[in-house]
Every structure is written in structure tokens, then in C-alpha cells.
Chains A and B, each alone.
Chain A
């Protein structure tokens, strides 16, 4: 792909015409500025975006967010809006980590008020929230409770006393998707999920203690309950082995069915069947169940983080309140106007954060006037951002980016960056590091990612979401 093949729509939006490749059903569009373009053209991400445009039932455009980078099937940062009447469902278009997502908890304290306790807090959180690599949590959940989690999500845990009603209000879909059906999830997937509720995983998953370092919109920050130098906690994880197995199971099943439904895809990882077929409906219900598991996982982590908070700061320290919890790998049913008709679409987001605008019926009452909080983490040790949903994001089916986006392979990062030195470097900046492996630290080095501020600026300027505050890390906790 060359830059000459691209049509510039405006300073932040580019198009690849439908005529570029004969199997494209719609044009491709992606959000980027000139600075980000260099990295985007270096890998195969645009070729993969063109592949997204061949999916049956896709509407308007195959889309990609400014953190677009090469993955498998869809690029990371891809969004496909598929008509459920004549279109497909593709687990590969959401990724194996179903409902990988972000959650932010906010405290009543500023950094200065608890500065001497941050190290102890990080250590306690590290002890309370295992990565789950190798061994999982000590308690193995029984199948009855697991099925309840698959069907009720975070709501099941809140009912059992692992959280507050407000946690559900401030969570995408209330932490529970109604189409979930535990019977569509294989026994193998359930066995993988039995002792992983409340575990972080590895790779780019992390927990960070952060502070609000800059406020861009005072009024909306206040509505979100945020203030300068406030201590917040960011959680990034997904559906763990259970979700991975659900995606694996249905990709395998759909691959065999492609002949039956006479569907052809440019990459086997897009394996798909008609959304409304019996197999498609089972796959959809299983995907929703895995999404519920992920919300329960982040809820259980919240419970353990609060336990650590209380242990270190005492009962009088007040609770950590949930700002929001939002997915960035998911298939969701959402309604949009296509050719002046409101229709239901299966929005496939793979590394793209849902970003609903003000007055959207599916966001909590307290955010109705300003739109949902849009949580965008930076790479480890760099700044992260909280934005708010905006009406202009209708152009991206209300989606924004999900992070900075990699530019360097993990292998290359380990080769180029010494984990121990990176740890020292971050500690010299005052960031506390609690990690299981220094190699894990090296592969997530900031040098391996695009500049998050640049990526978020494109999101802001393109109107996909608007900046509210910037966050700086105080402590990084990783498996």
C-alpha cells in the first residue's frame, strides 16, 4: 500500500476507494494524521483493513481507529458494522480476548495526601490480584456459579456482595448482556474459566495507580468526579482463557461451515457464518456470555483492589468508585440509520472502544448530558486519557481508539530494551514497578508503541471523543 493509493478526506480521515480491490463491498476509512501515517504504511494493517471491507453485510465503510496496527484477520483498531439480516458474524473480527477492556476506579484523595502509602498499596494490589499465569486463583468456582456469571456477568458478583449497585450503573451494558447463553459455551472453555475470575493475565494487561495530571474540560471532569492530582486506578484485562476458548471453538466450527453457506474470506481467521443462522446465533450467544465473564473478571479485580485499598489506607479512606468500564474487543447489537432507515447492526470492534455520545439511551443518567467516559490507556509508564463521547463519532459507529498501538514487535522490544534498565528508568521518574517478569516489562516498553498523545489528539480532532483529563502513572502492576 502506498500513500498515493489513499484519498484524503480531511486532515484526520483517509479513504481507500471501493474500486481499489475487486472483492471490496464498501470503501475503507481510517483516522490518522500525517505524523501517524508513516507507521501505518510500514506494516500490513491497511491490507488487513481492505480485507474487512469484503465481509458480507458490511455497511458504509470498513473502519480503523488511529491506533491501527497489524494483527490477524482485522487490523487492531478495526470496526465492522454488519447488517444482521443478510450479513455474517465473525469471531476473528472481535479477536480471541472477548471483551478485553478498561475500567477506572477513582478515589477521594490527591497524590499528596497518600504519597507515602502508594508503594505499599501497589505491593498489596500485586499480592491480591494474581496474573493467573500458570496457577489461577486458589478458589475454583463451581459450574453452577460459573454459568450464572456467563449469563449475568458482573451483576452476579454484585448480587453476591462483591461490589456496589453503582458499579453496574457505571459499566457498559450494566456489565451483563441479555443474549448470553451459558449452554453455548463448551465444557473446555468453562474448565479454563473456573479459577480465573479475578486474574489479570499477561501481555499488555496491567493495573496502574495513576493521578490526574492535566484537566482539559473542567465542567465535564467535575461531572465525572475528577479533580487535579486525584488518585485513580486503571484496570486492563479481558475474558482470560474462557474467552480465548470460546473464540477458538467458534472459529473452528465456522471454518467448516463456510462451504455450506458459500462464504469466502481473504483470511481464514475471518471464519464466519450468517448472523441469523442457527450456528451464528449460538456463536453470538457464546460471545455475549464470554463478554459477561470479562465484566465479572474486572468486577472481581475491583473487589480485590478495594480490599487492598482498605488494608493499606484504613476503613476511613472511603471507597474507590467506578467511573466506567468499557469493552474494546466485542460484538454488540446497536441501531444506526443506514439510508434513512434505523436498522440493527452487529458492530464488531477489535481494539476499538465504544464511545456513546450525550443523550444516548444506553449510557447512565449521570453521563446523559456529556456522553460516556471513554478510557484510553497509554503504553506502560506513559500518560493515559479519559475522554467523553461525542455526536460526531456517528461516523465511526461511535468508536474511538483503544490505546497507543504497537510499532515494534515484542521480540524486537525485548532485544532492544533491557527490562532491568527500563525498570530503573521508570523508578527514577518516580513510578513504582511491580512485575512478574522484567522481560514482560521490556516487551511493553514505551518505545514499542506510537505516541499516545498523538493518537488521542487525532481522536479529539476527528471528533470520535473529546479530551477530558490526562492521567500519569504512579505505579505499574503487571503479571
Chain B
């Protein structure tokens, strides 16, 4: 079973998120959960569950992650929901098909304008863990 973790790093004007994950799939899950954590939505137990399908084709694996998060961001804006769970259908180095699940919310603590490609590089360390730092424009 895979695992992931994320933490916010300092940046003068925006938000930098560092994600570490044992697999590529967990890297996407970790990035999604990290983004939801930045949005910091107010949720109640009775909140309505929302499911959406996403399909992204990208230039490469680095871009795929950012393009996926930007797709989620658009759905967040349109459906007023914050998404933090994935059901992956297909993941290659430039294609991602997934169902995302989240909850409706009337209030987001933080608005993310966009997920940027700035300084983006997914790396794999000696123990096989993936790591990436993503800059969010807020």
C-alpha cells in the first residue's frame, strides 16, 4: 500500500507545496489532498458529496500533474466543491483518467488562482520515493 505526505514551504507571494509519495498514483493523490488543504474549505457533516470525471492529456509527466490540478481547480470553482479523493482509471506518463470526489462548500478560506509550472520537476530518490514542489498562484 502506498503513502504520501505534503507540507507548505515559504514563498514571498504565493504558496509552495512539497509532496512526497511512494508511487506515482500516490503523488497525484497527495497533490490533490495538498491543494484541498490550501483551499481550506468549511465543511459540515451533512455536506453534499460531489463526484466528477477528469481526463487529461499532457506534454510530459511533470506537466500532467499540473494540468490535472488545474482541471480540478476549474471544477472546484464551477461546482463550489473541494475535492480530496481519487479513483484512478488510467495513468501513463502523459495521460491521466480519474474520478475525483469531494464535498460542496459555501466558503473557501483561500482562493487559488492557478497551479503553475514554475520550477516544476518531479524527482525520484534512491529509495524510490517521488518528490515534487508545486507553486500555487493565490
Task: Answer yes or no: do A and B interact.
Answer: yes
The answer, yes or no, to whether A248 is at the interface (CB within 8 Å) is: yes
Judge whether B108 and A96 touch: CB under 8 Å.
no
| Tally of chain A residues near chain B (CB < 8 A) | 46
Distance in angstroms between the alpha carbons of A440 and B119 in the assembled complex: 26
Main secondary structure of the interface of B (DSSP, over half): loop
B13 touches A440 (CB 8 A): no
Expressed in whole angstroms, the Cα–Cα distance for A106 and B113 within the complex equals 30
Q: With contacts defined as CB atoms under 8 Å apart, how many contacts are there between chain A and chain B in the complex?
A: 109
Task: Please tell me if the beta carbons of B10 and A409 are within 8 angstroms of each other in the complex.
Answer: yes
Docked CA distance A73–B119 (Å): 9
Does A85 belong to the interface (CB within 8 Å)? Answer: no
Whether A251 lies near B113 (C-beta < 8 A) is: no
**Given the complex, which residues of A lie within 8 Å of B42, measured CB to CB?**
134
What are the interface flags for A465-479 relative to B under an 8 Å C-beta threshold, 1 for contact and 0 otherwise? 000000000000001
Chain B residues 49-96 with CB under 8 Å of chain A are: 59, 63, 67, 70, 73-74, 77-78, 80
Give the docked Cα–Cα distance between A72 and B137 (Å): 9
Chain B nearest CB, measured from A71 CB (Å): 6
Docked pose: A269 CA to B107 CA in angstroms = 30
CB of A410 within 8 A of CB of B15, answer yes
Q: Is there contact, CB below 8 Å, between B106 and A134? A: yes
Contact B114 A248 (CB under 8 A): yes
Residue of B nearest to A448 (CB): B12
Q: Is the CB of A203 within 8 A of B118?
A: no
- Inter-subunit contact B138/A203 (CB<8 Å): yes
Residue among A95, A245, A252, A406 making CB contact with B137, cutoff 8 Å: A95
Let me know if A72 and B118 touch, CB within 8 A.
Answer: yes
Inter-subunit contact B113/A439 (CB<8 Å): no
Question: B74 near A255 (CB under 8 angstroms)?
Answer: no
Interface size class of B (residues with CB under 8 A): 35 or more
Q: Is B8 an interface residue (CB 8 A)?
A: yes
Chain B residues in 8 Å Cβ range of A191: 74, 78
- Contact indicator B117/A43 (Cβ below 8 Å): no
The reply to whether B10 and A411 contact each other, CB–CB distance below 8 Å, is yes
Residues of B with C-beta under 8 A to A201: 111
In the bound complex, CA of A295 to CA of B113 (Å)? 18
15 further interface pairs, Cβ-Cβ under 8 Å (given A133-B109, A202-B138):
A96-B113, A134-B41, A135-B107, A203-B113, A241-B77, A248-B74, A248-B114, A252-B67, A256-B59, A268-B118, A269-B116, A406-B12, A409-B12, A410-B14, A440-B109
> Which positions in A face B, CB cutoff 8 Å?
43, 69-73, 76, 95-97, 131, 133-136, 188, 191-192, 201-203, 241, 244-245, 247-248, 251-252, 255-256, 267-269, 271, 406-412, 436-437, 439-440, 479
A-B contact pairs, 29 of them (CB 8 A): A69-B13, A72-B135, A73-B118, A95-B137, A133-B107, A134-B107, A134-B108, A135-B106, A136-B80, A188-B78, A241-B74, A241-B77, A244-B113, A244-B137, A248-B74, A248-B114, A256-B59, A267-B119, A268-B118, A269-B117, A408-B12, A409-B11, A410-B15, A410-B138, A411-B9, A436-B107, A437-B109, A440-B109, A479-B111
